[in-house]
Amino acid sequence: MEFIRTEDVHFTYDETHPEEPEKPLHDVLKGVTLSIDRGEFVALLGHNGSGKSTMAKMFNAMLIPAAGKVYVDGMDTADESRTYDIRRQVGMVQQNPDNQLVASIVEEDVAFGPENLGVEPVEIRRRVDEALKAVDMYEYRTCAPYKLSGGQKQRIAIAGILAMQTACIVLDEPTAMLDPRGRAEVMHTIQQLNREKGITIILITHYMDEAVQAGRVVVLDSGRILTQGTPREVFSQVGLLKTHKLDVPQATDLAFRLRGAGCPMPHCVLSIDECVSALEPLLAQKGAEA
């Protein structure tokens, strides 16, 4: 069932954006049409400047299209009277773990969202406890945020959205500032939430190894959708991705290059295991011939 629909979305920054001040007036989005169903895990992949972060802010009405429309659960994001309702359905986690946390105690920060929504105190308490358990941070509920690692802070931010019981969570490069362990923690949490609670996840990233975990990958380049499909469908187009400054995992790249040199490798290899499984029979075959 369709949950978010964007129709030919255009956007231009008419003031300098803190991220890209050298591009004051420039078309960031040039017609993006996208449909996202409830319960999907979609990855929006693109290099810096592709428009992916701008697109992320369209989903919860932080930005309104200059042309085109965005509908969230049937609500037009351009309709200011529905902004509040839209944000009750779509929550957002940003890149910088520190700059999202408002309170000096973890559980109070997670309560911030429900408090804004006017939820009853007893219900807030219940939601906060549940949310913290869902992200595996319940033991830290009375800790101060500044003592936590980046990965832990991001999980608190996610818990804060969970406590608002939104149908969808948009994560804008949530792991860009984290170390490998933090990245793994956050990705594991996102996977779990999508699988076990059916929460719609939209992950903005430039990491291939994260996009690979999604159900659908949408590749953005220069404000347009370059290609989309399942991870396998998308990452088999290695040549295309490389031309557009996107990375492929070494395993995928190796298989691609070997195919190019004439070896009968599969069309798309996504992991080390798949690569090894494809290579071994071929090595054995050639070894037997020798």
Q: Does the footprint of another protein cover residue 56 (CB under 8 A)?
A: no
Residues numbered 65-94 forming contacts with another protein, rule: CB under 8 A: 84, 87-88, 91-92, 94
Q: Does the footprint of another protein cover residue 167 (CB under 8 A)?
A: no
Q: Given the complex with another protein, which of 96 and 228 has the nearer CB atom?
A: 96
Going edge to edge, which strands form the sheet with 216-221?
A: 90-93, 168-172, 200-205, 41-45, 216-221, 224-229
Binding-residue total with another protein (CB under 8 A): 88
Distance between CA atoms of residues 18 and 4, nearest Å: 27
Residue type, 61: A
Helices (H), the chain: 52-58, 83-89, 106-116, 121-134, 150-162, 180-197, 208-211, 231-235, 238-243, 250-260, 272-289
Q: Are 252 and 270 in contact (CB under 8 A)?
A: yes
Shortest distance (Å) from residue 240 CB to another protein: 9
Residues numbered 3-32 forming contacts with another protein, rule: CB under 8 A: 18-23
Fill in the DSSP letter of residue 147. G
Q: Given the complex with another protein, which of 66 and 105 has the nearer CB atom?
A: 105
Strands 67-72 and 75-76: antiparallel
Shortest distance (Å) from residue 93 CB to another protein: 9
| Angle at which helices 150-162 and 180-197 cross, to 10° | 20
Strand, helix or coil for residue 274:
helix
Of 3-11, 187-195, 226-234, 254-262, the segment contacting another protein by CB under 8 A is 254-262
Shortest distance (Å) from residue 225 CB to another protein: 18
Among 179, 198, 230, 243, binds another protein (CB under 8 A): 179
Among 53, 54, 60, 154, binds another protein (CB under 8 A): 60
DSSP notation for 1-66? -EEEEEEEEEEEESS--SS-TT-SSEEEEEEEEEEEETT-EEEEE--TTSSHHHHHHHTTTSS--S
Residues numbered 256-275 forming contacts with another protein, rule: CB under 8 A: 256-264, 272, 275
Residues numbered 103-122 forming contacts with another protein, rule: CB under 8 A: 103-105, 107-108, 111-121
- Interaction mask 181-220, another protein, x per CB under 8 A: xx-----------------------x-x------------
Shortest distance (Å) from residue 263 CB to another protein: 5
Q: Given the complex with another protein, which of 33 and 183 has the nearer CB atom?
A: 183
Q: Does the footprint of another protein cover residue 246 (CB under 8 A)?
A: yes
- Angle at Cα 61 formed by Cα 150 and Cα 115, nearest 5°? 60
- Angle at Cα 49 formed by Cα 44 and Cα 100, nearest 5°? 70
Q: Given the complex with another protein, which of 2 and 19 has the nearer CB atom?
A: 19
Q: Does the footprint of another protein cover residue 238 (CB under 8 A)?
A: yes
